Structure 1
Amino acid sequence: MTTTLEFRQGKEIFRPRARLISVLGEQLIKDATIGLLELVKNGYDADADNVVVKLLNIKFDPKNKSETEKEKALQNMTVIVEDDGCGMDLDTVLNRWLEPATGHKEEAKEKDQRTPKGRLPLGEKGVGRFAAHKLGHRLTLISRFGDEHGQLSDAEVEVIINWDDFDAIDAYLSNVGVDYREREPEYFKNQSGTVLIMEHARSFWKEGDVSRISRTLRRLMSPFRSPKSFSIKLLCPDYPNYEDLDPGEILETAHARMTALVDENGIASYEYSFNVRPFNKRVAKSSEVDLRKGISNWIPANRKSECGGFFVTCYFWDRDREILGLTNVSLPDLNQLNGVSVFRDGIRVMPYGDPDDDWLQIDSLRFLQTSDAISRKNIVGALEIDQRTNKQLKDKSNREGFIENQAFLDLRDLMRALIRIVQNEFAQDRRKIREQQKAKRREMLPAVKQLEDSIEKISAEIKKVTTMASAFVKDGKITYEVATEITDSLTQTRQEIQNAVEETRQAAADTLTVFDEEREMLLTLAGLGLAAERFTHEFSRLTREATILIKQIESSSEVRGLTVIIERVKALSSTLDALQDLVLALGPMFYVRRKTQEQELDVFTMVEQALLLNQGQIKINKIHVEKIEPDGKLNVHMRRSGLIQVFNNLIDNSCYWLSREPEKNGRRLKITILANEAAVIVADNGSGISPQDQHRIFDPFFTNKVDGRGLGLFIAKESLLEAESTITLIQNGETQYTFNKGAAFRIQFSHERVSED
């Protein structure tokens, strides 16, 4: 018997279970801090002037308490968020508030529809109200509408939601009702506004939770450009010390400050100022700085940013205790505010700037740099955007920052480029402070010696007074008892002063001893670290170049013949020699051997081999290279790998900065060997080196590349110094062998190192 199968078809709708509300509340709102922040932002969207957050009956230690006591304590815990905004009438409650994801806020932003106070809504997903679910089992919402002219509605609306009703396993969302009613105004009798009362906490509050909420609310509004007519107040009777949300005067104690305006093309205008007494104030300004050029992964280099323009204000502190004392810095206040936060329309975007959020990778990159590198603890900063010009920066649904699209990546890279600039500036000023500290320490012992000499004089005078007192007793001018009291007092005073001076002298000596020991240890570690850093800087590049050369040998042996192979093998040999020296530079930790031996070198050949190492960059970036020998051959006596490393670093730098220039301008690199002067000039027509940077380009770790190490020119200088030779930056137009723009370097060999033809 054959069974006929009947296939069904039709159309159905989703039937979400009621517990979807709980799922949304748990998943979309990370914690109570985020929940409260969302509710405060709703007050901003409602054009409120004031928002008050109340945390009531939250202090309870559940340790050694019965389950009944714990449950009763949770039921008594209450969170209230009240604003004096425009409020809602019944239609708004039913057709918007009870309809999540209506999209009316997103539509208002797209059409640039502002509130009467000129605000664009901060929310857009329409799910922020589930924050109330996170904060308690029961919600009471009371609201009264008022228009921009102050006309109030006749009734206020009350909505009561028991979130536990939505947790029933078999209940569908459409079957769970929400109680509402209109009534005569009771709560808002003379004004409009909305209050949310969230009762019966889901978990116990701790003092740390209150501290975190206080810190978050304190930082919610930009300390530099806060929204007009908008303030937040925190009331917590159980922990009143967290109620003060005033950021205080911490910004006035900053050691340095930077403001910057970055346009949609990534071009920055900035001003940096350093102002710590008794040091001289220093100001550095620059306009039309193309931040994109220092970002290696910004391709093409002239690509317009996706994030749009933004404004930055940053304050910086050197956290050395002695230096902090110069401006009376409050470390607790600084620790509350440090980090770089993002503010949209004056309201903070979480979690950027939180203690555990290193969104700019400042701390992680700091470990790859010198001690002059700043950390998040050194900064209080605000990156200001607005919804009208930064539309591509969109919130994640869970309110934990922006979607990490290209706009966000561009924003992060441009901000990191700005941080690199200010780090270079601040490092210069911090070194100035350190130098004075060292000088002061060296002055301590002479000062103590001078104090000892003064005490000797005082002791001599005390002896004279004692002698005079004895004479007065003999003459009957004073009694023996008075004289004894005077001399005993003076003797005791002299001894106390001598003891104090001895303690001061010993403390000063101990301090200097410790300082010298620590300095010696740090110098030793720094030397080893610098050698290791130098090794890591060069190792990856040189091994990569060696690999490329080997592949080229394999692919071209039958095509180009033996001559090409020999040249590439020579370049490969030089690369491996450089690697050997870098390993040996790590010193006694590994083995003690001499570096590769010095030999007579044809400079032109060394240049060609360095160009061969960089031929990939030269070819990809279409760089035109000129090699000139107007005076004939120049031979010098030094390490082969060291000289190639010098040229390799210079050419690598030129290739990078030329790659950041438009191809249509013509990318040119010129290397001129001046045998009569025992010199080489390496010049390019790239963006050049700004005047404020020229004095520090040979310092270790100085760089304008966002992901650079700042070791290339330092290594070149050290390698030449080993051969009693020098490298200097020369100005454009200084000789006929430079361009009208770009960077140019002169390598001057010691004449004693030059070989006669």
Structure 2
Amino acid sequence: MYKKNFTVDARTIIHLGRESIKDHTTALIELVKNSYDADASVVEVEIYQKETLNKIRIADNGIGMTECDIDNSWLRIGFSEKKLNKLSAKGRRKTGEKGIGRLSADRLGETLYIGSISNNCDSGKVERNGIKVNWELFNQDGIDLDEIPIEVDEDPQIILPASSNTITGTELIIKNIRNDWTVENIKSLCEELSILNSPFSETQDFKIFLKNDIAPQFNGEIFPPESVLPEIELELEYDGVSFNVKYAIKDRFSDFIPQKYDTTWQELSHKVIDPFEYVYSNEKLSCGPIKIKLLFYPRTKSLADGTNFTLSELKEFVDKNAGVKIYRDNISVKPYGYSNSIVGSDWLGLAERHTRNPAGVKRASYRLIPNQLVGAVFVSRDDNSLITDSAAREGLVENEAFCDLRALTLAAVSLLENHRYKLYQQPNENANKQKSSFSETATTFKREVEIAKENIDSIKEHITKSEDKLDTEQLANKNTPEIVRTALESLAKFVEETEDVSDSFNDMLQHTRVLAGLATVGISSAIYGHETQGDITQFKATAIVAKEYLEFDEPNIEVAKEELENSIIYADRVLAWGRFALSRVSRDKREKYEVSIKELITGLLKDLSELFKPIGIVVKYEKLEDVKATVYPMDIESILLNLLTNARTACLQISKNRIINIGLSKLKKKDRDGFLLSVSNSGPKINPELKEWIWEPLNTTKKDSTGRQTGTGLGLSIIKSIVADLKGDAEVDDDLDLGGALFKIWIPIK
């Protein structure tokens, strides 16, 4: 048996070079990254395409390349010594490991000249090496790669950066440029080079100088973004090993004194609001250790107060730096957070989040606008090995680790949003004035209409009596009563129409009550539907078995009877749920009258008991006082059913001791007699940062094992709406006995 070998076509270089790299800006940045890896402190980038000059020059003061480096590393495609020596002498983590970054030069121009000065480690002598690569020679069919000659320059003329004191370095000269560089290209290049090295790094030892003849206004040293104090700053850290996450928030209103918190990813994952619903881990994150820094700028005049900047200057700063970028070993990864990238600039979907919920900062569902945020996510090749480059040299592979990284960043954004929401909940003169509910407003409106009607009738009667006292001559000379009479007729007509509006209000309230009840039943059906579906399946299975036993040559009546009896049990369960669902919105429950709250609770629990037993949840309700209140029964049942549905979901997150505890007691509050309904569970606690957020519509903490949202986010908002209509209070706390959440609902008796 003999062996065969692969051969490599010369055109492979073209595929890996110019055809694999997105644009000429990306290609040039790849070559600048090589200077960073070579421990350069200064890099000169020159682009000329006018008059007789048509070249790109990149020169650095790095360690240079020996002849051995050129032969065994640079000219060996797919090999990267960076895999063997991951850290440079300065301790920098080298950025490229695929061994094809050097082919970026082919994307820029037809010919590449390399000149390098280095110290030979063996002899201690200074080496000068040079080669010339004509990329067009590789654009031939049927030619093996090793047949293409690379010219050697035995006396290379090398010009290193003028501002450098070192004697080593590398100079690249690319001629016959493939693309025309525009002013917009140069501007984009400047912006990308300015953030190539993280602006959040404590040390800045990598300077880049630009010179070009396309847009000379951008010539000179390229500086990282100047720091401007934000309104809010958040730093989050995940160690990559445990379930714990630490974060600190500080703001200009508290002199930037940090507030530090410890939490777990299980709790924090509930804050992930992702419009694109990427699947991520709901338990331990697979992305490895992560650091996140977010700066919030409100783009308002207040941000400029106390600074030397004008508002327009601050807006320009934010416009230039907006976006959350990913930095790997302190080098930015395109296209994440790059405003000039069509794909990936808003990789977190912040614009879509805001579009779907454009609530203001005084709402708990507040979402920030993307151009208000400047941020960075820090990873490394060694510690985050599962976060890998895509084949196109731009972007990362969107695998499980990337999705977990994205989810953690979105959770950090939500923490910042929640902090800002709390900042703006400052007390004011109307803070203690509770906003009227819709039902109360409708009642007040109807009462005012009735008063207006009585007043008009009184005025009419007064005018009639006055006219009776006037003689004919006085009436003839009296114009005012006619004007008043016309005005009164108009007012009377207005009041009559307003009464119709009042009736419409009442109808709307009844419709709203029915819709809330139906929504509650719908939510419950989605939650309890699994058990009901199981009963339907069992009913069908037992009926089939009974039929088969009856069709035997010698029918087994006893076994068939047992199976049919089981079928009846399952059918009764399905029927019970159907009756339960329909009875929630029956007409008598939509009328307001005095009812026993205790009987409402026990009746509801009796109907639901069969749905809790199969999943091992014990519902306790021994502490129920006998309370009578004038209410709509549908309202109370909607509140309790939604709370029970939430408690059930929480209990299913633990494997044992699943307990739900219901309490009812009389409680006087605000000089009004009322009752307190409480529902607690033994599931996980609710993150303190979420205790106001969960009451807003469409906000939910319910997620499946993949992290995908399963709840509707309507249950607690329905409760909040009903309680507001009843002039009650709703709050959530930690239950000290069961260890989970404790929901407390106070409602006045009348």
Q: Normalized against structure 1, the TM-score is what?
A: 0.70
CA distance in 2, matches of 1:233, 1:611: 73
Equivalent residue number for residue 726 of structure 2: 723
Q: CA deviation at 1:240?
A: 2.9
Gaps spanning 5+ residues in structure 2: where?
Answer: 271-277, 361-365, 431-511, 540-566, 668-673
2:123 pairs with 1:139? no
The residue identity in structure 2 corresponding to 1:713 is L
| AA matched with 2:729 | T
Partner secondary structure for residue 422 of structure 2: helix
In the alignment, residue 46 of structure 1 is paired with which amino acid?
Answer: A
Shift of 1:725: 3.4
The equivalent residue for 2:332 is: 348
Structure 2 counterpart SS, 1:400: coil
SS of residue paired to 1:105: coil
Confirm or deny that 1:91 pairs with 2:65. Answer: no
* 1:692-729 superposed Cα distances (whole Å, 9 cap, x missing partner): 66566645677778968865433312112223433233
From the superposition, tell whether residues 730 and 128 of structure 1 become closer, same or farther in structure 2 (CA, over 3 Å). Answer: closer
Aligned to 2:206: 230
Q: Which moved more, 1:417-426 or 1:697-706?
A: 697-706
The corresponding residue for 2:286 is: 306
Q: Determine if contact 1:623/1:655 at 8 Å carries over to the other structure.
A: no
Deviation at 1:368, TM superposition (A): 2.8
Cα 1:641/1:367, change in 2 over 3 Å: farther
Distance change >3 Å, CA 626–CA 537, structure 1 → 2 = closer
Match of 2:564 in 1: none
Q: Tell me whether 375-384 or 186-195 shows the greater mean CA deviation.
A: 186-195
- Counterpart residue type for residue 748 of structure 2: S
Superposed CA offset, 1:91-131 (max 9, x none) = 1111110111114322334xxxx222112321111110111
After superposition, give the CA deviation of every residue in 1:6-55 in whole Å (9 maximum; x if it has no partner): xxx96443333322211111343111122122111111111111222212
Aligned match of 1:54 = 46
Name the CA distance, whole Å, in 2 between partners of 1:659 and 1:324: 50
- 2:211 and 2:518 map into 1 onto residues whose CA distance is 54
Q: Give CA-to-partner distance per residue, 1:644-689, whole Å, 9 cap, x none.
A: 44234434444455555x646x443322234797332111234434
Equivalent residue number for residue 133 of structure 2: 161
Partner SS, residue 318 of structure 1: coil
Return the letter of the residue paired with 1:680. L
Cα distance, 1:28–1:598 mapped onto 2, change above 3 Å: farther
The change in CA–CA distance for 1:667 and 1:418 in structure 2 (over 3 A counts) is farther
Matched, 1:361 2:349: yes
Contact 1:46 1:86 in 2 (8 A): yes
Could you say if the C-alpha distance between residues 44 and 403 of structure 1 is closer, same or farther in structure 2, counting changes exceeding 3 Å?
same
Aligned residues: 599
1:252 aligns with 2:246: no
Q: Structure 1 counterpart of 2:85, which letter?
A: A
CA deviation string 1:574-632 (max 9, x = no partner): 68x59xx9xxxxxxxxxxxx9955575743257538967985xx96xx66332314346
Distance in 2, matches of 1:563 and 1:191, equals 90
What is the match of residue 463 of structure 1? Answer: none
Q: Is the 8 A contact 1:261 1:268 kept in 2?
A: yes
Is this contact kept in 2: 1:338–1:378, CA < 8 A? yes
For residue 570 of structure 1, what is the amino acid of its counterpart?
A: R
Q: Relative to 1, partners in 2 of residues 1:204 and 1:696: Cα closer, same or farther, differing over 3 Å? A: closer
Q: Distance in 2 between matches of 1:118 and 1:167?
A: 39
| 2:227 maps to 1:262 | no
TM-superposed CA distance for 1:298, in Å, is 8.4
Deviation of the 1:387 alpha carbon: 2.8
CA distance in 2, matches of 1:392, 1:669: 41
One of 378, 386, 391 as aligned partner of 2:372: 378
Once the two structures are superposed, what CA deviation does each residue of 1:57-116 show, in whole Å capped at 9, x if it has no partner? 36xxxxxxxxxxxxxx7x84322211111110111111110111114322334xxxx222
Tell me which amino acid in the other structure corresponds to 2:97: E
**Of 713, 717, 733, which aligns to 1:714?**
717
Does structure 2 conserve the Cα–Cα contact (< 8 Å) formed by 1:266 and 1:414? no
Cα distance change, pair 717–129 in 1 and its aligned pair in 2 (3 A): same
Letter of the aligned partner of 1:213 in structure 2? L
The equivalences for 1:66-465 within 5 A come to 76-109=53-86, 114-146=87-119, 153-183=125-155, 186-187=158-159, 191-225=167-201, 229-243=205-219, 245-249=222-226, 251-264=227-240, 265-275=242-252, 281=255, 285-295=259-269, 301=282, 303-320=283-300, 328-329=310-311, 330-355=314-339, 356=342, 357=344, 358-369=346-357, 370-371=359-360, 372-430=366-424
SS of 2:205's partner is: coil
- The residue identity in structure 2 corresponding to 1:37 is I
Change (3 A) 1:17 1:209: same
CA shift for structure 1 position 283:
5.2
The separation in 2 between residues aligned to 1:535 and 1:183, in whole angstroms, is 87
CA distance in 2, matches of 1:537, 1:281: 46
Amino acid corresponding to residue 105 of structure 1 in structure 2: K
TM-score, normalising length from structure 2? 0.70
| Superposition RMSD in Å | 4.0
SS at match of 1:200: strand
1:317-367 Cα offsets, whole Å, 9 max, x none, are 113466567754422221111111111221112221122422222222233
Residue 282 and residue 714 in structure 1: after superposition, are their counterparts in 2 closer, same or farther (change >3 A)?
farther
2:659 match: 668
Tell which deviates more after alignment, 602-611 or 87-96: 602-611
- Check the 8 A contact 1:19/1:166 in 2, yes or no: yes
The letter of the residue matching 1:179 is E
SS in 2 for 1:204: coil
Gaps of 5+ in 1: 1-8, 59-72, 437-529, 582-593, 753-757
Alignment-derived partner of residue 740 in structure 2: 742
Cα drift, residue 544 of structure 1: 3.2
CA distance in 1, matches of 2:516, 2:63: 62
**SS state of the match for residue 565, structure 1?**
helix
> Contact 1:341 / 1:348 at 8 angstroms: preserved in 2?
yes
How far apart, in 2, do the equivalents of 1:85 and 1:681 lie? 69
Which one-letter code corresponds to 1:569 in the other structure? G
1:670 counterpart letter in structure 2: N
Matching residue within 675, 681, 684 for 1:684: 681
**Structure-1 separation of matches of 2:177 and 2:92:** 33
User: CA offset at residue 143 of structure 1?
Assistant: 0.9
Match of 1:443 in 2: none
Aligned equivalents of 1:179, 1:556: Cα separation in 2: 80
Spell out, residue by residue over 1:183-229, the C-alpha distance to the aligned partner (whole angstroms, 9 max, x if none).
26643596111111111121222222112111111111111115652
Matched residue of 1:28: which SS?
coil
d(CA) in 1 for partners of 2:8, 2:745: 75
In structure 1, how many angstroms separate the alpha carbons of the residues matched to 2:335 and 2:429?
38
Distance change in 2, residues 1:536/1:226 (3 Å): farther
Quick one: distance in 2 between partners of 1:629 and 1:233?
Answer: 77
- What pairs with 1:418-567 in structure 2 (closer than 5 Å)? 418-430=412-424, 541=523, 544-545=526-527, 548=530, 551-552=533-534, 554-555=536-537, 558-560=567-569, 563-567=572-576
Q: Does 1:624 align with 2:617?
A: yes
Post-superposition offset of 1:554: 3.0
1:40 match: 32
- Counterpart amino acid of 2:82? K
Of 567, 572, 575, the match for 2:581 = 572
The percent of aligned pairs where both chains have the same amino acid is: 24
Secondary structure of the 1:30 match is coil
Is the contact between residue 116 and residue 148 of structure 1 (CA under 8 Å) also seen in structure 2? no
Is the contact made by 2:730 and 2:746 (CA closer than 8 Å) also made in structure 1? yes
